[in-house]
Structure 1
Amino acid sequence: MKQPSLYKLRGAVRITVTGGDIETLINTVAEQGLEVWNLRAHDGRVAEMNILLPHFFRLRPVLKRTGCRVKVTHRSGFPFFAARLLRRKFFLGGMLFFVAALFALSSMVWSVEVKGNVTIPTDEVLAAAKKEGIYPLQWGFRLQSQDKLSRQLALALPDVTWIGVSKEGTTITIQVVESAQPKREPLLNPRHLISKSDAVITQIYAEQGRPVVQKDMRVKKGQVLISGILGDEENTKTIVAKGEVRGLVWREYQVEVPLVQKHNTMTGESRERFYMVLGNWAIQLWGYGSTPFSSFDTESNHRPLTWRSFTLPMGWLTEKDLETREHEEQQTIEWARTKGLEGARNDIIAKNGKGTKIISEKILHEKKENGKVYMKVLFEVEESIAEELPLVHSQGE
């Protein structure tokens, strides 16, 4: 016989029928429309079948007429699950409390993020949002519509062109588009541009002021490159000298590189700790005790619970300690020389800016001692050599 639909919801039992006239019982069950399935008969003396729970109670008159006996061997479906659940009141109460807590936590605002602000401080945006009811631990249903919140925040912050408020899960994001403000030029005092080191001029461009040096001229440290004084002895005017002056500079570096390089490698051994995360709290479940490794790296993996598009303020956190071991590697002198020169070049560019060019380099002295390579290197560098020198109004050139 065909298995009825929704039998799990309606409830069903597996029964064993013995004694009496089993064949008549089966025919009577079919005539009365009682829904049974998975029927198995054994030598006409024993039969097994599944029957819906409501129809099971209608079997009693048929059993009396046929003289059969019935034994329930298995129960399944929602009615039996509900009966077992009602007998476990504490479990039922805990499950209901968990569902209620989950709903309550997912209905709250747990974090407020501000994006897009450059000149407006984040604290100022958050303070304005708090006046409109947007702050952590606020109930989501107490918030006004997102369009209304956007309009009110735009009125509260006059330096913005547009503000958008969006809620995703337990997080509210405030997107700020600031209004374009005219750039304020800083007020500068009159000044010269002077050389910050001994050099040979390779390029000079005076945007404002009077250049007093030329290309290929050798200059000393502190020498004026672009003057901020215009005019003659009788009529002078001090201005802010502006421009760019580049020159060749010679720099000497002392470089030392150890030939034995130490690296940390993974051994493959690890130890895990597992936490349950509730908001900003983490409760450790297992993995207690100190890490047995003397040297290790720690990896963290946070997996929040999600429901549809909502990210809930709870989840799991796994921390894994990976054992490391120090490994020594012997390097060649050629490798140390290359590594040392590369480090010196990077230091020169980092100190003098991206426009710095290394024209040439020469190793003046090199030796190997105590497991290290020592070098004295002379670099010829083209860089910006101008720096400011403030002027007093009465000062002459």
Structure 2
Amino acid sequence: MKSRVIANLLGTVSITVRGKSVTSFINALAAERIVIWNVRAISEDRVQLNIMLGDFYRLRPILKKTSCRMHVEKRMGFPFVLKRIIRRKLFAVGIFLFFVILYIMSSLVWDIEVKGNVKLTTETVLKAAKEEGIYPFQWVFRLKEQDKLSRELTQKLPGSSWVGVSVHGTRITIQVVEATIPEQPPLLSPRHIIAKSDAVVTQIFAEQGRPVVQKNTRVKKGSILISGILGDEGNQKLVVAKGVVKGLVWHEYLIEVPTTQKYKSYTGEQKERGYLVLGNIAIQLTGYGKLSFDKYETVTNRDSLTWRNIKLPVGWMTEKVMEMQMTEDKVTDAEARAKGLEQARKDVIIKNGKDSRIVSEKILHEKKDNGKVYMKVLFEVEENISEELPLVHN
């Protein structure tokens, strides 16, 4: 099938073909290289399909050859809309104005995108660009040459090593390459490493500072793990304590899991709506009528028309409205228990870091009430228990 935009511009026809030689008819279409899509068998001797308007007029000899008959179900696309519109002179004038407006819209700058800037703000780049004539609703042909714009913007933006300007139809992209400035390491004040929770120490690695605890030591929240004070009382030195201390921490979870799970599914019934898009305006051309179902979900797909490398502010938008239904699935108590424990394990890892590890778990209490499984679970987790404490020394 051709692209949806081209198909709607050239026109398509939905037809039903009936006869004893429907299969021969389909094979004949393939032999003649006639493109078809949305082929759906209604019965053994009846099939529905879509075909381009230009190929529709080539069907007569094939139908006669295979002894099949055809019925047009639906006509879609711009030629059929144009046929209805052209009957009125007012609409004909409107079409002329539409193409005039389309030409004007495609000759203006509609969007300016700034990429690559981190330290330079987007507002600063756009302000410098405006001084060089780059701003929304500016005529594209009035812009300076891209090399000249690049040089002048580079001079206007301190902290940039290069600025590139590229024009893509109605959009202008300004690519900023900032000058690399070596980052200065932050100045850190002396500090201790302390425990952020009650735990039993399992690992201790002191990169800088004096370890105060050992493996298998029970510590309380706020206890010093790595001291930032070196030496004795007569000769002390304050340093920035660095290191990692891991320990066993106990987390208690209250888990609640329903034994009835709800899922969303689609029935297969659907309806399509077609819109002609002009900028931010969508005009519905196909798919009128009420829906035959109550619960549904809508998926939107938009195809913009392009000319060479220019993306025009006109195109075709399709809305696919699909009927949906909610289904319920009952699970056993064991399945609910397993699902609740798995969710709790993931939550433990997320909250305590990827380097944490669940050592053991114990279900303290479990009951079932009102279609739900309730559990109280105790997790023993090995995690990083260290945090920083600024050191104040008189």
Which TM-score applies when normalising by structure 2?
A: 0.71
- Specify the SS of the correspondent of 2:207: strand
Distance 1:333 1:282 in 2: 51
Structure 1 gaps, min length 5: 1-87
Question: What CA distance in whole angstroms lies between the structure 2 residues aligned with 1:380 and 1:201?
Answer: 13
Alignment of 1:280 with 2:268, yes or no, is no
Q: Does 1:235 align with 2:227?
A: no
Deviation at 1:95, TM superposition (A): 5.2
Letter in 1 for 2:105: L
Change (3 A) 1:120 1:296: farther
Residues 365 and 211 of structure 1, relative CA distance in 2, 3 Å threshold: same
- CA drift at 1:287: 5.8
Moved more, 185-194 or 246-255: 185-194
Query: Counterpart amino acid of 1:113?
Result: E
* Distance change in 2, residues 1:346/1:135 (3 Å): same
Q: Following TM superposition, by how much is the alpha carbon of 1:311 offset from its aligned partner in structure 2, in angstroms?
A: 0.7
Correspondence for 1:267 = 267
Q: CA deviation at 1:218?
A: 1.8
Q: Deviations over 1:147-183 (max 9, x none)?
A: 1111111111122222211111211111222221222
Alignment partners' CA distance in 2, 1:282 and 1:231: 77
SS at match of 2:113: strand
The equivalent of 1:123 in structure 2 is 123
**Which residue is 1:215 aligned to?**
215
Note if 1:387 corresponds to 2:393. no
Secondary structure of the 1:312 match is strand
Q: Does 2:372 align with 1:372?
A: yes
Instruction: State the match for 1:138 in structure 2.
Output: 138
Q: Distance in 1 between matches of 2:93 and 2:368?
A: 77
8 Å CA contact retained: 1:274, 1:319 = yes
Match of 1:161 in 2: 161
1:89 and 1:350, CA in 2 relative to 1: closer, same or farther beyond 3 A?
A: closer
In structure 2, C-alpha distance between the alignment counterparts of 1:186 and 1:273, rounded to whole Å? 59
Correspondences of 1:209-358 after superposition (within 5 Å): 209-285=209-285, 294-358=294-358
Alpha carbons 1:272, 1:321 under 8 Å: kept: yes
Structure 1's 89 and 333: CA in aligned 2 closer, same or farther, altered over 3 A? closer
Q: How does 1:54-65 map to 2 (within 5 A)?
A: none
Go from structure 1 to structure 2 and tell me whether the alpha carbon gap of 1:233 and 1:91 turns closer, same or farther (over 3 Å shift). closer
Correspondence for 1:362: 362
Structure 1 residue 245 displacement after superposition: 0.9
Aligned length: 308
Distance in 1 between residues matched to 2:387 and 2:374, nearest whole Å: 33
Residue 342 of structure 1 deviates from its aligned partner by 1.0
Once the two structures are TM-superposed, the CA of residue 107 in structure 1 deviates from its matched residue by 1.6
CA contact (8 A) 1:192 1:390 kept: yes
Distance 2:293 2:231 in 1: 76
Deviation at 1:185, TM superposition (A): 3.0
- The aligned counterpart of 1:112 is 112
**For the structure 1 residues 96 and 287, does the alpha-carbon distance in structure 2 shift closer, same or farther, using more than 3 Å as the test?**
closer
Alpha-carbon spacing, 1:138–1:336, altered in 2? closer, same or farther (3 Å): same
Residue 331 (structure 1) shift: 0.6
TM-score by length of 1: 0.71
1:51-200 map, 5 Å: 94=94, 96-200=96-200
- Paired residues of 1:305 and 1:312 also in contact (CA < 8 A): yes
Q: What letter matches 1:248 in structure 2? A: L
Which amino acid in structure 1 is aligned with residue 201 of structure 2?
I
Deviations 1:33-72 (A, max 9, x none): xxxxxxxxxxxxxxxxxxxxxxxxxxxxxxxxxxxxxxxx
Identity of aligned residues (%): 63
Indicate the larger mover: 281-290 or 314-323: 281-290
Residues 161 and 178, structure 1, Cα contact 8 Å, conserved in 2:
yes
> Which amino acid is 1:139 matched to?
W
**Contact 1:110 1:313 (C-alpha < 8 Å) held by counterparts:** no
Q: Distance in 2 between matches of 1:378 and 1:95?
A: 72
| Structure with larger Rg | 1
Structure 2 counterpart of 1:341, one-letter code: L
Determine the C-alpha separation between the residues in 2 that align with 1:183 and 1:255: 46
Distance 1:290 1:392 in 2: 74
**Residue 72 of structure 1 corresponds to which residue in structure 2?**
none
Give, in whole Å, the separation in 2 of the partners of 1:282 and 1:89: 23
Read off the aligned partner of 2:196 and give its amino acid letter: K
Q: 1:237: how far off?
A: 3.2
Distance 1:90 1:340, change over 3 A: closer
> CA offsets, 1:94-127, max 9 Å, x none?
5554443332222211111122223322222222
Structure 2: how far apart are the matches of 1:196 and 1:187?
24
CA 1:123–1:283 in structure 2 vs 1: closer, same or farther (change >3 Å)?
farther
